[in-house]
Amino acid sequence: MEYKVLIGLEMHCEISKTNTKVFSSAKNGYNNAPNTNIRPVDMAFPGTLPVLNKEAVKKALMASMMLSCTQPEYLCFERKNYYYPDLPKGYQITQETKPAPIGMYGKLVYECKDELKTVRINNIHLEEDAASTDHYTSVSKIDYNRAGVPLLELVTEPDFRSAEEAVAFLETMRSNYQYADISEADSKKGQIRCDVNVSIMEASLDESNPENWGTKVEVKNVNSFGGVRDAINYEIKRQIELKENGTYDSMEQQTRRWDEESGTTIYMRDKVDAIDYKYFIDPNIPKLKLDPLWLEEIRKEIPVLAFERKQKYMQEYGLSNYDATNLVKEKEISEYYEECISYGVSPKSACNWITSIILGHINKYELKITDIFVTPKMLADLIQVLEKGDISSKQAKEVLYDSLKEDKEPLKIIEEKGIRQIGNDEEILKIVKEVFVENKEAKEQYKSGKTNIVDFLVGQVMKKTRGKANPAMAMQFIKEELER
Ligand code: ADP
Ligand code: MG
């Protein structure tokens, strides 16, 4: 039988770009010594009260707007009650859908294998992260640095039909969070965590009717995009097997966890054992009216995101899909590129130089583009010197490599080393003559139709001048000589 797969994601992403936590003045930081970024309120000391961080709300609202969600009139927070050592208060401050989270009913257009797809967003809400626990053989250690870090949870409708679509969506969101300066969105730092919901149904049935949907399995806490892909594919296979042996349809809705090591999902609990979180509005956090003027200001601050930049690079600048994709992969690279163009360099040349040499260099040495010595202005200067014909492209490349290696401005290198292109008629003509003396049969071959001899002869001139001759002039003299 043919099956359709329905996948819905719950994507958690820490808002890493605020100075402090969401309800306390403790630092929002990563990699600090354990239990140093903490205030009494993060430890739930009696008598302490949460104070909402305006910057975190602003970033959460921006995320809500980027997803075309509706924002609530009033902001409320609720307590989700459960006990776990990483949650000293005995509850997590979050937003359930009642009364209204920071964003509802949106959508996102994303690209998957060069095709545009749309996923509906059920909601996005702002909550606090829990502490982190490390388990050793005889002890477990708790680090409260993470307790209270602002966290966004985004819930999609089950609109993905394959692991590839789900991962493409996650990659788009990661990029959007980075572009909007909401989060570094780094899975290696544990900033992104996903719950993956998977079900299958007969392909012939109408998927717009939820009654036809299969029973979903929720896979908790998948911490990498590769994990999301593998967990989905594993579940699809497992569920098809259940369907074929006739047990799928009687299965209870269940929660499983992804086991990275074995590459399998492992049963945790059935829906009937679901925890009752006893949600209620947190009485310590006032209900806040969101000022429409403030919302408008935030909306105006949303930067142009990767997807739109890419469209512009392809449509207005004529770049290939491949190059445009590389240039928007990181916001800093895209900004570097755009700044370079702003000095008057053509978008195509700037693209060629950045994608070939600059990106090659940063990938090779695992750098960020903001780490390198060569600024967009320096690159633009170099490209302009080249385009004036003062230096050859081979020379320009060498200068750029040296500049990256020696932390020295390209124009300085050109000046100090006295680099210039041989663009002087007599000098070039002299060398062209030498080349003809050394290749006496060239003229004959040319006359008998072997026209690619021209390229060979230009190559000889370039070789003799160690790349310093102006190739266009060399070509012209060679052709004149051959026609003589
Ligand atoms: P729950 O009440 O179990 O939390 P929700 O309706 O809130 O379930 O949905 C949680 C997630 O599960 C959402 O991302 C949603 O898209 C997804 N989901 C719901 N039903 C299905 C299904 N039949 N197959 C796959 N995903 C589903
Ligand atoms: Mg839910």
Cis bond before residue 85 (omega within 30° of 0) = no
Q: How far, in Å, are 385, 403, 475 from residue 171 at the CA level?
A: 39, 33, 48
Q: Which atom of ligand 1 is nearest to the CA of 214?
A: 23
Going by pLDDT thresholds of 50, 70 and 90, the confidence category of residue 281 is very high
pLDDT digits (tens, 9 = 90+) for 293-316: 999 999 999 999 999 999 999 999
pLDDT digits (tens, 9 = 90+) for 232-271: 999 999 999 999 998 998 888 999 999 999 999 999 988 7
Of 15-24, 208-217, 420-429, the one with minimum mean pLDDT is 420-429
* Distance (Å) from CA 6 to ligand 1 centroid: 9
Among all ligands shown, which has an atom nearest to the Cα of 154?
1
**Backbone dihedral angles phi then psi of residue 390, each to the nearest 5 degrees:** -70, -30
| Rounded Cα gap, residues 301 and 304, in angstroms | 9
Tell me how many degrees the CA angle 102-150-268 measures, rounded to the nearest 5.
90
* Distance (Å) from CA 204 to ligand 2 centroid: 28
404: its two tokens:
């990256």
330: its two tokens:
């990181």
pLDDT digits (tens, 9 = 90+) for 185-243: 999 999 999 999 999 999 999 999 999 999 999 999 899 999 999 999 999 999 999 99
* Distance (Å) from CA 65 to ligand 2 centroid: 21
Confirm if 44 and 147 have CB atoms less than 8 A apart.
no
Q: What is the mean pLDDT of residues 173-177?
A: 97
Q: Which of 216, 243, 248, 271 to mutate to test the pocket of ligand 1 (most atoms within 8 A of CB)?
A: 216
* Distance (Å) from CA 10 to ligand 2 centroid: 8
Residue 472 has pLDDT above 90, yes or no: no
* Distance (Å) from CA 152 to ligand 1 centroid: 18
Confirm if 154 and 10 have CB atoms less than 8 A apart.
yes
Q: Looking at this protein, which amino acid is placed at residue 205?
A: L
| Rounded Cα gap, residues 360 and 346, in angstroms | 20
Tokens 């899975």 belong to residue: 187
Q: Show the 3-state SS of the chain.
A: CCEEEEEEEEEEEECCCCCECCCCCCECCCCCCCCCCCCHHHHCCCCCCCCCCHHHHHHHHHHHHHCCCECCCEECCEEEECCCCCCCCCEEEECCCCCCCCEEEEEEEEEECCEEEEEEEEEEEEEECCCEEEECCCCEEEEHHHCCCEEEEEEECCCECCHHHHHHHHHHHHHHHHHCCCCCCCHHHCCEEEEEEEEEEECCCCCCCHHHCCCCEEEEEECCHHHHHHHHHHHHHHHHHHHHCCCCCCCCCEEEEEECCCCEEEEEEEHHHCCCCCCEECCCCCCEECCHHHHHHHHHHCCCCHHHHHHHHHHCCCCCHHHHHHHHCCHHHHHHHHHHHHCCCCHHHHHHHHHHHHHHHHHHCCCCHHHCCCCHHHHHHHHHHHHCCCCCHHHHHHHHHHHHHHCCCHHHHHHHCCCCCECCHHHHHHHHHHHHHHCCCHHHHHHCCCCCHHHHHHHHHHHHCCCCECHHHHHHHHHHHHHC
pLDDT digits (tens, 9 = 90+) for 74-100: 999 999 999 998 999 999 999 986 778
| Rounded Cα gap, residues 331 and 348, in angstroms | 19
Mean pLDDT, rounded, of the chain: 93
pLDDT digits (tens, 9 = 90+) for 366-404: 999 999 999 999 999 999 999 888 888 888 999 999 999
Among all ligands shown, which has an atom nearest to the Cα of 157?
1
Confirm if 410 and 373 have CB atoms less than 8 A apart.
no
What is the model's pLDDT at position 457? 94
Which residues are CB-contacts of 230 (< 8 A; sequence separation ≥ 6)? 163, 258, 263
Q: What is the pTM of this model?
A: 0.85
Nearest CA to ligand 1 atom 2: 271
Q: Which atom of ligand 1 is nearest to the CA of 10?
A: 14
Among all ligands shown, which has an atom nearest to the Cα of 270?
1
| Rounded Cα gap, residues 329 and 85, in angstroms | 39
* Distance (Å) from CA 275 to ligand 1 centroid: 16
Q: Which of 3, 197, 279 to mutate to test the pocket of ligand 1 (most atoms within 8 A of CB)?
A: 197
| Rounded Cα gap, residues 96 and 123, in angstroms | 9
Burial class for 482, CB neighbours closer than 10 Å (0-12, 13-18, 19+)? middle
Confirm if 8 and 160 have CB atoms less than 8 A apart.
yes
| Rounded Cα gap, residues 388 and 24, in angstroms | 58
Tell me which residues have their CB closer than 6 angstroms to ligand 1: 6-10, 155-158, 197-199, 213-214, 216
Q: How many CA atoms lie within 13 A of 87 on its CB side?
A: 15
* Distance (Å) from CA 52 to ligand 1 centroid: 30
Among all ligands shown, which has an atom nearest to the Cα of 254?
1
Tell me how many degrees the CA angle 315-317-320 measures, rounded to the nearest 5.
75
Per the document, the length of the chain is 484
pLDDT digits (tens, 9 = 90+) for 459-470: 999 898 888 788
What is the model's pLDDT at position 369? 95
Q: What is the mean pLDDT of residues 43-69?
A: 96
Q: Count CB atoms within 10 A of the CB of residue 169.
A: 24
| Residue among 316, 375, 384, 312 at smallest CA distance from 345 | 384
Going by pLDDT thresholds of 50, 70 and 90, the confidence category of residue 418 is confident
